A and B are shown apart, each in its own frame.
Chain A
Amino acid sequence: MAGEGAPTWEDVARSHGRFLYTVAYRLTGNREDAQDLVQEVLLRVRRGLQTYQPGSLEGWLSRITTNAFLDDVRRRKRRPEDLLPEDPDWVLPPTGGADVALAAEVLPDDIQAALARLPEDFRAAVVLCDVVGLSYQEIGQTLEVPVGTVRSRIHRGRALLRKALTSA
């Protein structure tokens, strides 16, 4: 059951629909999957599968959304080890990439396309940090990983984004 004072899914849809859809879109990278994800989130809210703790409603929704997204990714993945490459050289572009200035006219669609190419776990960490605005500790709780892992995923995610955006 949902915790005491948990909002109904109708409340969520009415008051936080745009926020929810934005997070879903940034995670999935396309409108169809974003709609499916939103629907799944509202179902989870309705079924009370996620315990609500009074506090930030957006943080709570972000947690449900990210969990639903990663659950779906893992269901689809035939090779789960692809999610987290162990070799840091595979992930991190050479530091020399920092010398290349990002174009001032980078469009939101370019950024979204670069986000969509990130490994999902890195993408989730970056979205929770920079789109939702959660702290590293909150992100760690959401993703159920230590703060050190959060640091690493955010940093690698940003480095990959930089590489994608400078080579675009």
Chain B
Amino acid sequence: MSAHPGDLLSAYLDGELTARELESVSAHLEGCAECRRELQSLGQVRTLVRDLPPVDPPFGLFERMLRRRNRWGTRAAVAALAAGAVASVAMMGMASPREAHVAPHVAQLVDAHTASASTSGDPISEMTPAAVPVSFQP
């Protein structure tokens, strides 16, 4: 008798053998009661698993996921709209001819900085001006 087919028995059940393997396994089965019993019990197991019923998902599982997805979608849309608005303003600013002549109020900024620096609570700074007044012509 040929060697027991082993792994090939399940493939035999599933119709997954080549023609040559099928011939060989069939011939073996004819003469081997042990392998026939093995085949039968494997077939029972296969049937048990195949007959397992579908499983219902918990109530509302997918609906909850869909709702969550929609919220993500809304947030993403709001973020995209906001980003678009910012970009538009920036583009308008860049495109504006007024930007060609930048005239910052440097003098005011220097005065403000000087004032804040000289009144920082330091008694010596309060007695002495921290900087001479600056005049700036743009």
- Known A-B contacts A10-B66, A38-B61, A98-B34; A126 and B40 likewise in contact (beta carbons under 8 Å): no
Contact bitstring A133-160, B, C-beta under 8 A = 1, else 0? 0011000000000010001101110110
Q: Are A98 and B49 in contact (CB under 8 A)?
A: no
Give chain B's interface residue range (CB within 8 Å of chain A).
20 to 34
Contact across chains for A162 and B42 when beta carbons are under 8 A apart: yes
Given A34-B55, A98-B41, A158-B10, output 13 extra A-B contacts at Cβ < 8 Å.
A10-B69, A100-B41, A101-B44, A106-B48, A108-B52, A111-B49, A111-B52, A130-B50, A131-B52, A158-B46, A161-B45, A162-B45, A165-B45
Interface segment out of the listed B1-9, B82-90, B99-107, B113-121: B1-9
Contacts of B62 in A (CB 8 A): 13-14, 17
A129 to B16 Cα, complex, angstroms: 11
Does residue B58 face the partner (Cβ distance < 8 Å to A)? yes
Contacts of B8 in A (CB 8 A): 151, 155
Contact flag A131-B49 (CB < 8 Å), given A151-B7, A155-B9: yes
> B56 within 8 Å of A by Cβ?
yes
Tell me which residues across on chain A come within 8 A of B45, comparing CB atoms: 102, 158, 161-162, 165
A98 and B54 within 8 A (CB): no
Interface pair B57/A38, CB less than 8 Å apart? yes
Closest chain-B Cβ to A98's Cβ sits at a distance in Å of 4
A18: interface (CB < 8 Å): yes
Q: Does A54 contact B (CB under 8 A)?
A: no
Dominant SS at the A interface? helix
Q: Which residues of A contact B42 (CB under 8 A)?
A: 98, 155, 158-159, 162
**Residues of chain A having any CB pair with chain B under 8 Å:** 9-10, 13-14, 17-19, 21-22, 25-26, 31, 34-35, 38-39, 42, 46, 95, 97-102, 106, 108, 111-112, 115, 126, 129-131, 135-136, 147, 151-152, 154-156, 158-159, 161-162, 165
* Cβ contact within 8 Å between A19 and B54: yes
B78 at the interface (CB under 8 A from A): no
Q: Output the residue of A21, A131, A147 with the most chain B CB within 10 A.
A: A21
Q: How far is the CA of A9 from the CA of B44 in the complex (A)?
A: 37
Our pick among A17, A26, A99, A102 for the contact of B57 (Cβ within 8 Å) is A17
